[in-house]
Amino acid sequence: MEKYSRSLFSPGHGHAAGSDRCPRGAAWTLAPLLIVLGCAEAAAAEAEDVVELDKITVYSAEDEVSTETTDLPQEVLEEKKAQTMDTASMFKDVPGVDTYTAGGVSSLPVIHGMADDRVKVLVNGMNITSACSNHMNPALSYVAPSSVGKASIMAGITPVSQGGDSIGGTISVDPAAPAFAKAGEMAYTGKLGGMFRSNSDTFGNNFSGSVASDDFVFDYGGQWAKGNNYMAGNGGPTVTPSRYLSTNMNLRASTKLNNGFFSADVTGQYIPYQGFPNQRMDVAENDGLLGGFSYENGFDWGKLDARVYYHSTWHLMDNLPERGGTMPMKADGSDLGYRVRAHVPVDDIHTVRVGSEYFQQGLQDWWPGKPMFMPQDFLSINNGQRDRLGTFAEWEANWSKEWLTQIGVRNDMVWMNTGRVQGYDDSATYTFWANSFNAASHSRVDHNFDATAVTAFTPDENSRYELGLSRKQRSPNLYERYAWWGTNSMITWFGDGNGYLGNLNLNPEAAYTASFTANWHDDKQQVWTITATPYYTRVNDYIYGQQVTQQANGFHGMQFVNLSHADMYGGDFSARYAFLPESSAGSFAVKAVAAYVRGVGNDGEFSMGCPYIGTSLARSCNNAQQYWPTHGFKNATSVNLYHMMPLHATLSLEHAIPVGEAGIDSAISVDLVDSKTAVAKSYAEPTTPGYVLLNFRSSYQREHLRVDVGAENLLNKLYYHPLGGVDIMESDKAKAVVRLPGIGRSVYVSLNVDF
């Protein structure tokens, strides 16, 4: 098959696995298991006959290693699958990447200080939005770790063909490519696994299988996971509620084309509960159905790939029993879109990529009323809609084996609107805000423009240098613009315990980034490597939570506003040295990963003054429970941005040794995290002390059997992650902001069998 060259900056192939609404419970996984186990002997015998379809577009030989784009190696993927049920946490060891603490399977990735909607997350080639005022169902929560075949992250400059409506990096997870059998043969493969984690008594199992001919493949996968409330270290408290139950299933059918494939996929999720200790609500149910069609084929002129998809979410928030009380909040969300890209090699040097992308988000968010006291439903987002149409063009040139350049431009039109709103009743508490909101025009249109320029220089076999510049824009999400009822504590996805008011006058953010990466290594990149990436980003019209009220319990009422600008700068560093690569005791290596980010915004304006003056609600201004100044708070000119990770590093000693026909791979690591003192006062962000954590892992691999064991926080240290947020239940008891403790010692074991 003819192959076309692409660079390290090119988008990945959207080998899709979609999503499908699951039957409630985990019993549905048993039927496929009985079928596959019945023919396990035949499957094992034929497993060696499976061949993977060649990818139509591959890295050229000189561009196989990228210092801007990180593809998690297969071995690392397998390690992460054994350690976690949360897909976002699989990236946390990549320099410059962290996670916001959230539910057990719903943490939010952070890249260079930017999180959530500022980061582009693609799941099987799909854009997925959070249909929740607390963002409890982020994109990566819809894909189980066991179903991830490829995981990529662009922490630096994201090409316009992968970006759009985001100003940070890009994360992409995809299933494995379809694996077709040899001509005239049938192949059957499968995988069965389970895991246990001591802290929170987490159990999980996973299954995947495929039936393949030379021109057709049917893939199936499923995962079930259940965890209890976790315990903090050193005799610390049990953190409630942090328990969860999650079930995922995915199906895909693929057929081979002349130089590619066509596939249809569907994935389903059912989460009957998931606790969020740093939110005021929990997930009482989340049902997701997502999937679509993927097309990828090569022609004489180049390659064409396309993806059409749909995602539907039914989401219910409420208090889990340990919180007490009930207050159901419902959301019905949908995502619909397509992406078409053409990759055209003009000659041996130049490649052009052009494409179009459309994305539509629909959201109905309402909170059911109760007879007598709440006679009508509270309409939080009523018929919210957010449409985006993007077009892009990229030109890439491999001028020589030393020089590569890529330039791209992109335009995204974003249309947003929502309907009329109402409160639980027609009292002044609700009508004051509802009438003002309903009288305003809700329709907004943003014209966003992105541009990127990247050059890579490879002077010899031991070094590579990359310089990237970009301008990217992001429009506000539906809640940032349309949250209407005062400073609402039911609207926050930051884990800070505050309440937020939207802003119809928000402008899109515009980020200007400069990033430089230097990589040095030995000739074969097997003994030593060093990578350093300094970066700087200025964001004009940065969307920030500005304090408008001060509550007696230490939390704040906030409004989303545009800062004139914000600056984020820092650096990533990684190094590895195999000091005994082939000793009789095995191979030994040391590894270091470190990162630092600093975020500062420019404000200096007065916050919104108390709007109740002259109304029947005027008593709410300057009262003892909620201090709301008549003329607003005077903010500092320079403000710290929220949830910026302090200096932190991980040092590891790695060891690998063959044992007969098997192999053992182990590592001892130390996490070093500096104290966090530069906090965002507007968010009432707590400081956190520095800490050191000791971890251990080991894996045993023999033919079709893999066993992983390990321990995290081996010394059972009581610590507070800088991005952990606040413990809401403990804060309510103390009537003050209380930090959320991290998880204590946790020993895990995982067993997986291929057949």
pLDDT in tens, 130-140: 999 999 999 99
Q: What is the distance between the alpha carbons of residues 196 and 203, in angstroms, rounded to a whole number?
A: 5
DSSP string, 288-327: EEEEEEEEEEEETTEEEEEEEEEEEEEEEEE--TTT-S--
- At 583 the pLDDT is 87
How crowded is residue 372: how many other Cβ atoms within 10 Å of its Cβ? 6
Confidence of residue 64 (pLDDT cuts 50, 70, 90): very low
pLDDT at 570 over 50: yes
Predicted confidence (pLDDT) at residue 275 exceeds the cutoff of 50: yes
d(CA 337, CA 463): 41
- Least Cα distance to 117 among 142, 105, 100 occurs for 100
Mean pLDDT value across the chain: 90
> How confident is residue 68, by pLDDT bands cut at 50, 70 and 90?
low
More confident site: 697 or 15: 697
For residue 466, the model assigns a pLDDT of 95
Please choose, from the candidates 500, 493, 556, the residue with its C-alpha nearest in 3D space to the C-alpha of residue 725.
493
Q: Which two tokens stand for residue 540?
A: 């004009």
Choice among 27-31, 353-357, 460-464 with the minimum mean pLDDT: 27-31
pLDDT at res. 626: 81
pLDDT at 394 over 70: yes
- Residue 41: the pLDDT is 35
pLDDT at 372: 82
**Average of per-residue pLDDT across 159-180:** 93
What does the H/E/C string look like for 265-277?
EEEEEEEEEECCC
Separation CA 379–CA 158 (nearest Å): 37
d(CA 290, CA 128): 9
The two tokens of residue 103 are 């539910």
| Confidence bin at 63 (pLDDT 50/70/90) | very low
Backbone angles phi and psi of 76, in degrees to 5: -65, -40
Model confidence at 646: pLDDT above 50: yes
Q: What is the pLDDT of residues 480-499, one digit of tens each?
A: 999 999 999 999 999 999 99
pLDDT at 368 over 70: yes
- The pLDDT value recorded for residue 32 is 33
pLDDT digits (tens, 9 = 90+) for 215-264: 999 999 999 999 999 999 999 899 999 999 999 999 999 999 999 999 99
Residues 496 and 276: their CA atoms lie apart, in Å, by 12
What average pLDDT score do residues 703-717 get? 97
pLDDT at residue 609 above 90? yes
Rounded Cα distance, 58 and 27, in Å = 40
Residues 6+ apart with CB under 8 A from 54: 1, 3
Does pLDDT of 388 surpass 60?
yes
Query: For the segment 586-597, what is each residue's pLDDT rounded down to a tens digit?
Result: 999 999 999 999
In angstroms and rounded to an integer, the radius of gyration of the C-alpha atoms of the chain is 26
User: How many Å apart are CA 141 and CA 135, to the nearest integer?
Assistant: 11
Check residue 454 and give its pLDDT. 95
Residues 6+ apart with CB under 8 A from 436: none
Show the DSSP H helices in 440-547 as ranges: 478-482
pLDDT band at 582 (very low <50, low <70, confident <90, very high): confident
Vertex 416: Cα angle to 378 and 384 (nearest 5): 25
27 CB-near residues (< 8 Å, 6+ apart): none
Give the domains, in start order, of the chain with CATH numbers. 4-754 (2.40.170.20)
Average pLDDT over residues 570-576: 97
Question: pLDDT digit string (tens) for 72-104?
Answer: 999 999 999 999 999 999 998 999 999 999 999
Q: Return the structure tokens found at 562.
A: 């545009």
Q: Can you tell me the distance from the alpha carbon of 126 to that of 337, in angstroms, rounded to the nearest whole number? A: 8
Q: What is the pLDDT of residue 686?
A: 97
> In angstroms, rounded to a whole number, what is the distance separating the alpha carbons of residues 232 and 720?
9
- Has residue 4 got a pLDDT over 90? no
pTM for the complete prediction?
Answer: 0.90
| pLDDT class of 42 with cuts at 50, 70, 90 | very low
- The dihedral of CA 725, 731, 737, 741: what is its sign? negative
Which of the listed ranges 62-71, 617-626, 710-719 does the model predict with the highest average pLDDT? 710-719
Is 430's pLDDT higher than 70?
Answer: yes
Euclidean distance between CA atoms 500 and 484, whole angstroms: 9
The DSSP symbol for 32 reads H
